[in-house]
Homo-oligomer: A and B are copies of this chain.
Amino acid sequence: MTTALGRPPALSILLVGDDPASQVYVRNKERAGGEAGLAVTIHRLPSTAAVDDVLALVTALNGDDRCDGILVQSPLPRAMGKDASERVFDAIAPEKDVDGFHPVNVGRLVQGRSSMPPCTPTGVIELLRRDGGEIAGKHAVVIGRSDIVGKPMALLLLQRDATVTICHSRTKDLAAVVSRGDIVVSAIGRPGFVTADMIKPGAVVVDVGTTPVSDRSVVAQLFGADSPRLATIDRKGSTVVGDVHPGVLEVASAVSPVPGGVGPLTIAMLLKNTLAAARARTGL
């Protein structure tokens, strides 16, 4: 893709350390970006890097006119300390913050005027808009309250006129709360946690959980002893399992698969944000 920029929109991804899941995520983003015609550059830092090294790189990219979007892959190494992510996300120039994690972008999201909405919840909205029927007037239940998924998810559903309930680890009688949802979005990272008895018949269920599971017995119990996922474990060491139990398929009108459901849309939204950032910065 060459745009009126005179060059392809450019995305810089910072990958710190050697977390295996992060390696996969970054590779997927690099591939999808390349296929869409973006220039994707991966900046790798060792797991021994200090938070100041990351901040220095972010500052350099903020000032680099050839860089349109900056993404720092989470999680940062634990050794960097608890507030490392916060410090790094705060340092990214809001107009290049394609993940939408900078507080000013979060605030604009709350106010319904975000130009950089966070990728995963926006991907879920896109999925619902295409395959989930009307959102307005529905009761949507969000399971999980993370800054990255749960809270912005609830805000986006509210913006589209759903009645929204957010529940979490401290929710009492969670099954009863979830069973009131016409739309249920689960983002807690507990394999098979959402079971059929929690779901209103005909509800639309979106599974944001992606937990690598290497224990064959867990997978056999969830998916059956003849599941092809067992072969995946044999081949790759693990299989990615969502929050939603396969039994939910019998009750819900639609369930997004893991892998393959929300993930690709999350990446599509990242590319969209990068393009929007390039356009906005250059006044196109």
A137 and B106 in contact, given A165-B163, A166-B158 (Cβ under 8 angstroms): no
B151 near A177: Cβ-Cβ < 8 Å: no
Smallest distance from the beta carbon of A212 to chain B beta carbons, Å? 27
A104 contacts chain B at the CB level, 8 A cutoff: yes
A158 near B163: Cβ-Cβ < 8 Å: no
Residues of B within 8 A of A168 (CB): 158, 161, 163
A170 and B161 in contact, given A110-B110, A111-B106 (Cβ under 8 angstroms): yes
CA distance A102 to B104 in the complex (A): 8
Smallest distance from the beta carbon of A167 to chain B beta carbons, Å? 5
Closest to A150 in B: B158
A151 near B158: Cβ-Cβ < 8 Å: yes
Q: Chain B CB within 10 Å — which of A102, A137, A163, A166 has the most?
A: A163
A163 near B139: Cβ-Cβ < 8 Å: no
Closest to A155 in B: B151
Smallest distance from the beta carbon of A171 to chain B beta carbons, Å? 4
Instruction: Specify the main secondary structure of chain A where it touches its partner.
Output: mixed
A167 near B172: Cβ-Cβ < 8 Å: no
Closest to A110 in B: B106
User: A110-122, CB under 8 A of B: which get 1 and which 0?
Assistant: 1111000000000
A110 and B170 in contact, given A104-B103, A163-B177, A165-B164 (Cβ under 8 angstroms): no
CA distance A102 to B155 in the complex (A): 17
A279 contacts chain B at the CB level, 8 A cutoff: no
